[in-house]
Structures are given as structure tokens and as C-alpha cells.
């Protein structure tokens, strides 16, 4: 049976980085559930599907042509209809729009089967906002990773500055706060730690330190 580890948490908590590190260490499959919503946002724009057209978005979610590729050096690439859209997928605008369409129950339902299809082989590490509560409620290990709003905004600020983008740290902090509010208070699959999740605050931890902590829990549960 496939071993499943879920890593949920708010934007900027470091769950994506840590999840990829865990998957690489254990040679497990990796699911970036947030990427699915971001890719759906891009696909909707390409196909001229309005972000308020729930029926159109749901149909697109079921049939869009997507692939995830992880290279030998650990680089993650998202391919939509044979086009590398990784850079576009990681923009703030795409993230904000993806967060909005993720609130639609029908859209989440349409993507649920796709998410669960990643659970194959030896194991899976799935990161997102409802992996341990909705998508994989019977996961073998559930991690809820968080960090302060200021720390998460600062991480994103440094990332964007390194890319040469002109951004405001204060504006990013407001975006993080607004996204938390939207994700935590939506009616469908709100962002919340599963009752049996292990909660970790990464505000003062490096990605390597978080990885080592999670690996200890993995060893304790005999999942390695």
C-alpha cells in the first residue's frame, strides 16, 4: 500500500520546499496541489473561461492537459498543453486568482480525483491546504506547517527581489493576510490543521531544520 505524507499550511510557510525535500529523500512521488489550481487559472485565461464560470472551470479542471516534471537535479516544472508555464504559475497574480477559484466546491470536486491519482508506488508527499483533511484523510503522517505573516511576507519579498521584480514588503504582507482570511474562512475545505496533524512553526527554522524534524517523525512511524 502506498504510504502517504501530507503537508498542509498557509502560503509562504515553506511547505512546498520541504515537501519536495521529503519526497526526494524518500524517493516518493510528489503532489503540489496548489499547482493544480494555478494551472487551472492559466488554462482558464488561455481558453477564455471566466473565473466566475464554475461549470466551465469544473469541466476544464477535468480535462486540461497537464504534466509535472522533476528533473534529476530536483527542479520542478509544470507543463500545460505541452508548454512550460512554471514561471507564470509562480506569479503573485496567478496565486491570488487561484485562491479565489479554489473556493468553488464544484472545482475542488473536479480536481479531487486527479489529486488522489498521485497516490501510487512506494509513497506520496502531498502539499496543499486540505491534503490531510479532505484529499487524504487517512494519510500515514500529517504535518501542518505555518509561520508568522511577517516572516512569510519577507520570504516572498526576497524571492521576488531575486527575480528582479519591484515589490513592496508591506503590500505583500497585506496580500498574505488577505489570502489567509480567504483560505481559512471559505465554506468549502477551509485551511485548518487536521485533528491528528503535527503542527510546526517554521518562523525561526530553516528548510533543512524543518526537514530534519519531519524525518524524525517519519522514522518514528516507520515510514522511511
CATH assignment of the domain containing 75: 3.40.50.300
- What's the domain range around 172? 3-208
Pairing mode, if any, of strands 141-146 and 3-8?
A: parallel
**What was the pLDDT predicted at 165?**
85
**What was the pLDDT predicted at 46?**
94
Q: Is 33 inside any structural domain?
A: yes
**What was the pLDDT predicted at 140?**
98
Q: CB 220: neighbour CB atoms within 10 A?
A: 10
User: Residue 200 in 3-state DSSP?
Assistant: strand
Pairing mode, if any, of strands 76-80 and 29-32?
A: unpaired
**What was the pLDDT predicted at 74?**
66
Helix, strand, coil shares, percent, the chain, to 5: 50, 15, 35
**What was the pLDDT predicted at 122?**
95
Q: Is this prediction's pTM over 0.85?
A: yes
Q: Is 216 inside any structural domain?
A: no
Give me the residues of the chain with pLDDT under 50, please.
none
Q: Is 150 inside any structural domain?
A: yes
> What is the C-alpha separation between 34 and 80, in angstroms, rounded?
15
> What is the C-alpha separation between 2 and 119, in angstroms, rounded?
6
What's the total number of domains in the chain?
1
Q: Is 191 inside any structural domain?
A: yes
Amino acid at each position: 500500500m502506498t504510504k502517504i505524507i501530507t503537508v498542509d499550511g498557509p502560503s509562504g510557510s515553506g511547505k512546498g520546499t520541504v515537501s519536495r525535500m521529503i519526497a526526494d529523500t524518500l524517493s516518493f512521488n510528489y503532489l503540489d496541489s496548489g499547482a493544480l489550481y494555478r494551472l487551472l487559472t492559466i488554462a482558464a485565461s488561455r481558453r477564455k473561461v471566466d473565473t466566475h464560470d464554475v461549470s466551465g472551470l469544473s469541466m476544464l479542471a477535468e480535462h486540461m492537459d497537464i504534466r509535472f516534471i522533476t528533473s534529476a537535479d530536483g527542479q520542478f516544472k509544470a507543463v500545460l498543453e505541452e508548454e512550460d508555464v512554471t514561471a507564470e504559475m509562480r506569479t503573485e497574480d496567478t496565486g491570488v486568482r487561484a485562491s479565489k477559484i479554489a473556493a468553488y466546491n464544484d472545482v475542488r470536486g473536479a480536481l479531487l480525483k486527479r489529486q488522489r491519482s498521485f497516490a501510487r508506488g512506494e509513497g506520496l508527499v502531498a502539499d496543499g491546504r486540505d491534503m490531510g483533511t479532505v484529499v487524504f484523510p487517512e494519510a500515514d503522517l500529517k504535518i501542518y506547517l505555518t509561520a508568522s505573516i511577517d516572516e512569510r511576507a519577507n520570504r516572498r519579498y526576497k524571492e521576488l527581489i531575486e527575480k528582479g521584480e519591484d515589490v513592496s514588503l508591506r503590500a505583500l504582507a497585506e496580500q498574505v493576510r488577505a489570502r489567509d482570511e480567504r483560505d481559512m474562512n471559505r465554506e468549502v475545505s477551509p485551511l485548518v490543521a487536521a485533528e491528528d496533524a503535527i503542527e510546526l512553526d517554521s518562523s525561526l527554522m530553516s528548510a533543512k531544520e524543518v526537514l530534519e524534524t519531519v524525518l524524525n517523525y517519519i522514522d518514528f512511524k516507520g515510514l522511511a
